Amino acid sequence: KDWQSSFALMLFLSVGIACLGLSENSSATIIGAMIIAPLGQPIVALGGAIALGWKKQSFRMLLIIFLGTVGSLVVSYIIGLTLPDLSPNEQILIRTAPDLRDLGIALLAGAGGSYGYYRSEYSTVLAGVAIAVALVPPICACGLMLEQGNLILASGSILLFFTNLMGIAFSSILVFFLLGIKNKRNRKRFYL
């Protein structure tokens, strides 16, 4: 399908940009990668599908998230092979030590993104959510650190990714459940 190739292309581009930004310690480049990364959309859609009780769509979104995550890890590892020796810099280290603040950010940004998804007049908040809750940069940091053999930093990065994923998914389920998705126009948004 057309959306699948678009999703894969944008994810590949965002992973490439994030890896290069991480390697040169450039926060501006990493922010650019976060803006174009499409991985947040299926996570929000997963929350909506669960809130609606749509098992098939929920599993479909989980599969998209899983394939996107694994694909991003593989691509970032391969990019790491092409980079000169990469020592952990500030931008990589930021993404290797998650704490409760990261979970709080994911929960709040996920709620904002879900509300923006639900109310079309607030659809512009999705870019802000992408910046606030980094999904692709922690995956890329994990892939780069795996390539370098630094398993401790890689595990911290993937923990941050899963913290963000779970925070967004949980708050999305809660927002969509509380708001209720009653009309067909809003329900259509959960079909990719």
Range in 53-57, 103-107, 141-145, 180-184 the model is least confident about: 180-184
The model's pLDDT over 5-19, given as tens digits with 9 standing for 90+, comes to: 899 999 999 999 999
Residue 76: what pLDDT?
Answer: 96
- Reported confidence tier of residue 81, pLDDT bands at 50, 70, 90: very high
Whether 183 has a pLDDT exceeding 50, the answer reads no
Q: Which residues lie closer than 8 Å to 150 by C-beta, 6 or more apart?
A: 88
Instruction: Kindly state the helix (H) or strand (E) to which residue 178 belongs, with its residue range.
Output: helix 151-179
Query: Which of 161, 44, 164 lies closest to 103 in space, CA to CA?
Result: 164
The pLDDT value recorded for residue 134 is 81
Torsion sign, CA atoms 21, 3, 188, 57: negative
Residue 35: name the closest of 163, 167, 129 by CA. 129
102-128 pLDDT tens trace: 999 889 888 888 887 777 665 566 666
